């Protein structure tokens, strides 16, 4: 048997013997000829063979031909096969202008004949059968895009001397709101699943690492069923020392987004257009920056008043400001900056001249928050005061406060939900479509 060739590489080969392996997408079993569309991780190809329906006495090869025909007639969709045959370029073949004339076919793993999902199955049903759903080229492309996006960001980090860290996901305390904590039995005590690497990425600044990143899981016991919430998600985090303000963090953030989007557009732009009907745009820098208070005024003028008394933005407000930014600047991204201290965590640095505001931002992409970033408070006395201000007891986070008792540089960073970026980039309706295996309040399997 010749060495396996990926379907995408067939076009560059001359006519001749090849072996392709993958799963059966369709079988067309005609009286005189049989066609298989075989798909692998790189594409689909048509396989063809004349059908032999009965033994021919004076043809010693007819028994083998009959066996091949019968095997193909019985092939269930989804079976994994390996096929050796003659590659033939032929413009008349709609699928890629080539086909493989089958000489031998080995069924490596036969599928059950009844496929449990169809193209029109509900999202929930497709999630039940995620491994079959992922055979769809559109789903497959999402994870190629994710790979390229993360690789480009990682390249940026590595080229710029960032250190990669892996912080523990079993924690002794909350890192964000206590309301969204998963508790885990931990020998004779209770552990919590990390909601964010927040405290430990800050620790790296006190450790003198300078610039760090982490891509890892984060857990939130959030009972909501929105299109943008999961109970477990991949968080993309970065943190840098020696900053003047959150402006430095935003600069880093937009550079990373540009690196990621440039790579995705270059490598997958055409496929994304074909399968998602979306034109990926590499955003221009600097991204628009609008202080939150100003953003609220802008959307009020557009006729929408955020119905919240707590100074925050709501999802409709995010959509409205995104529409304004698109119309005014032709941009898909906007940094909303300077959130009120009342709605930001204790660790955000407050404005020197206005303690009611923080050196923080949210990054909105196509109308949805994808990230939160901030300059952190590194002066331990101020940090303790800000904790008390929020009704927290500094003693409870003594290990964290220690990070700032032995010298710490000014620093800041951000956390970004990977699935949200992919969902908004591809104009998908839910993060469930772009998460390998989604976890939500009612989904723990597969």
Q: Calculate the CA 316 to chain-centre distance.
A: 23
Subset of residues 87 to 146 that bind ligand AMO, contact rule: CB under 6 A: none
Subset of residues 232 to 261 that bind ligand AMO, contact rule: CB under 6 A: 233, 235, 237
Three-class DSSP labels, the chain: CCCECCHHHHHHCCCEEEEEEEEEEEEEECCCEEEEEEEECCEEEEEEEECCCCCCCCCCCHHHHHHHHHHHHCCCCCCEEEEEEEEEECCCCCCCCEEEEEEEEEEEECCCCCCCCCCCCCHHHHHHCHHHHCCCHHHHHHHHHHHHHHHHHHHHHHHCCCEECCCCCEECCCCCCHHHCCEEEECCEEEEECCCCHHHHHHHHHCCCCEEEEEEEEECCCCCCCCCCCCEEEEEEEEEECCCCHHHHHHHHHHHHHHHHHHHHHHHHHHHHHHHCCCCCCCCCCCCEEEHHHHHHHHHHCCCCCCCCCCCCCHHHHHHHHHHHHHHHCCCEEEEECCEHHHCCCCECEECCEEEEECEEEEEECCEEEEEEEEECCCHHHHHHHHHHCCCCHHHHHHHHHCCCCCCCCEEEEEEEHHHHHHHHCCCCCHHHHCCCCCECCECCC
CB of 420 to ligand AMO, least distance (A): 4
User: Which CB, 46 or 235, lies closer to ligand AMO?
Assistant: 235
CB of 172 to ligand AMO, least distance (A): 17
Long-range Cβ pairs for the range 391-394 (8 Å, 24+): 392/346
Is residue 3 a known part of a binding site?
no
Is residue 63 a known part of a binding site?
no
Is residue 372 a known part of a binding site?
yes
Triad 177, 180, 182: Cα angle to 5°: 125
Residue partners of 395: CB distance under 8 A and separation at least 6: none
CB of 230 to ligand AMO, least distance (A): 4
> Among all chains, which residue has been given the structure tokens 């009612």?
442
User: Which CB, 48 or 363, lies closer to ligand AMO?
Assistant: 363
Please count the residues of this chain forming the interface with ligand AMO, following the rule CB under 6 A. 22
Distance CA 386, CA 403 (A): 16
Of 227-235, 273-281, 334-342, 377-385, the segment contacting ligand AMO by CB under 6 A is: 227-235
220 is a site residue for ligand AMO (CB under 6 A): yes
Is residue 220 a known part of a binding site?
yes
Nearest residue (beta carbon) to ligand AMO? 417
Given candidates 22, 85, 260, 417, which one binds ligand AMO under the rule CB under 6 A? 417
Distance CA 387, CA 379 (A): 12
Is residue 419 a known part of a binding site?
yes
User: Which CB, 23 or 199, lies closer to ligand AMO?
Assistant: 199
Distance CA 377, CA 362 (A): 17
Of 13-21, 159-167, 280-288, 410-418, the segment contacting ligand AMO by CB under 6 A is: 410-418
CB of 129 to ligand AMO, least distance (A): 23
Subset of residues 182 to 211 that bind ligand AMO, contact rule: CB under 6 A: 196, 198
Is residue 420 a known part of a binding site?
yes
CB of 218 to ligand AMO, least distance (A): 7
Given candidates 25, 128, 133, 222, which one binds ligand AMO under the rule CB under 6 A? 222
Of 1-9, 74-82, 230-238, 296-304, the segment contacting ligand AMO by CB under 6 A is: 230-238
CB of 233 to ligand AMO, least distance (A): 4
User: Which CB, 22 or 415, lies closer to ligand AMO?
Assistant: 415
311 is a site residue for ligand AMO (CB under 6 A): no
Binding mask 418-437 for ligand AMO (x = CB under 6 A): --x-----------------
Subset of residues 25 to 84 that bind ligand AMO, contact rule: CB under 6 A: none
Subset of residues 338 to 397 that bind ligand AMO, contact rule: CB under 6 A: 369-374
229 is a site residue for ligand AMO (CB under 6 A): yes
User: Which CB, 156 or 361, lies closer to ligand AMO?
Assistant: 361
Contact 342, 323 (CB under 8 A): no
CB of 119 to ligand AMO, least distance (A): 27
User: Which CB, 240 or 259, lies closer to ligand AMO?
Assistant: 240
Annotated binding site: 176, 220, 369, 372, 376, 417-420
Annotated binding site for L-aspartate: 176, 220, 372, 376
Annotated binding site for ATP: 369, 417-420
* Site for ligand AMO, rule CB under 6 A: 176, 196, 198, 220, 222, 229-230, 233, 235, 237, 369-374, 413-417, 420
């Amino acid at each position: 048997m010749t060495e396996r060739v990926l379907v995408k590489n067939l076009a560059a080969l001359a006519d001749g013997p090849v072996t392709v392996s993958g799963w059966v997408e369709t079988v067309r079993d005609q009286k005189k000829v049989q066609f298989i569309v075989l798909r692998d991780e790189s594409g689909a190809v048509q396989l063809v063979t004349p059908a032999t329906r009965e033994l021919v006495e004076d043809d010693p090869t007819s028994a083998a031909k009959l066996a091949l025909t019968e095997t193909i007639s019985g092939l269930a969709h989804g079976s994994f096969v390996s096929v050796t045959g003659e590659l033939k370029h032929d413009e008349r073949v709609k699928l890629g202008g080539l086909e493989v004339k089958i000489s031998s076919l080995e069924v490596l793993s036969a599928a059950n004949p009844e496929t449990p999902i169809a193209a029109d199955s509900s999202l929930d049903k497709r999630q039940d059968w995620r491994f079959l759903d992922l055979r769809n080229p559109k789903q497959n492309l999402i994870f190629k895009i994710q790979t390229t996006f993360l690789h480009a960001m990682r390249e940026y980090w590595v080229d710029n001397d960032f250190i990669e860290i892996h912080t523990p996901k079993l924690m002794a305390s909350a890192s964000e709101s206590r309301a969204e904590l998963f508790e885990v039995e931990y020998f004779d005590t209770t552990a919590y699943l990390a909601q964010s690497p927040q405290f430990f990425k800050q620790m790296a600044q006190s450790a003198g690492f300078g610039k760090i990143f982490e891509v890892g899981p984060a857990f939130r016991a959030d009972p909501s069923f929105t299109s943008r919430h999961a109970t477990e998600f991949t968080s993309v985090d970065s943190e840098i020392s020696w900053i003047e303000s959150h402006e430095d963090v935003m600069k880093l953030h937009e550079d990373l987004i540009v690196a990621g989007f440039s790579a995705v557009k270059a490598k997958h732009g055409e496929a994304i257009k074909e399968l998602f009907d979306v034109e990926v745009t590499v955003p221009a820098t600097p991204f628009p920056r609008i202080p939150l208070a100003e953003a609220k005024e802008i959307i009020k003028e557009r006729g929408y008043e955020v119905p919240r008394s707590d100074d925050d933005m709501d999802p409709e407000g995010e959509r409205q400001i995104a529409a304004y930014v698109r119309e005014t600047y032709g941009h898909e991204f906007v940094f909303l900056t300077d959130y009120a201290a009342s709605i930001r965590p204790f660790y955000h640095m407050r404005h020197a001249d206005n303690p009611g505001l923080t050196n923080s931002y949210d990054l909105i992409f196509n109308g949805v928050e994808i990230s939160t970033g901030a300059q952190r408070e590194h002066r331990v006395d101020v940090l303790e005061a800000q904790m008390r201000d929020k009704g927290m007891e500094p003693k409870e986070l003594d290990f964290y406060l220690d990070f700032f008792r032995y010298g710490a540089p000014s620093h800041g960073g951000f956390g970004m939900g990977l699935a949200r970026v992919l969902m908004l980039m591809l104009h998908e309706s839910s993060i469930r479509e772009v998460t390998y295996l989604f976890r939500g309040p009612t989904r723990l399997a597969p």
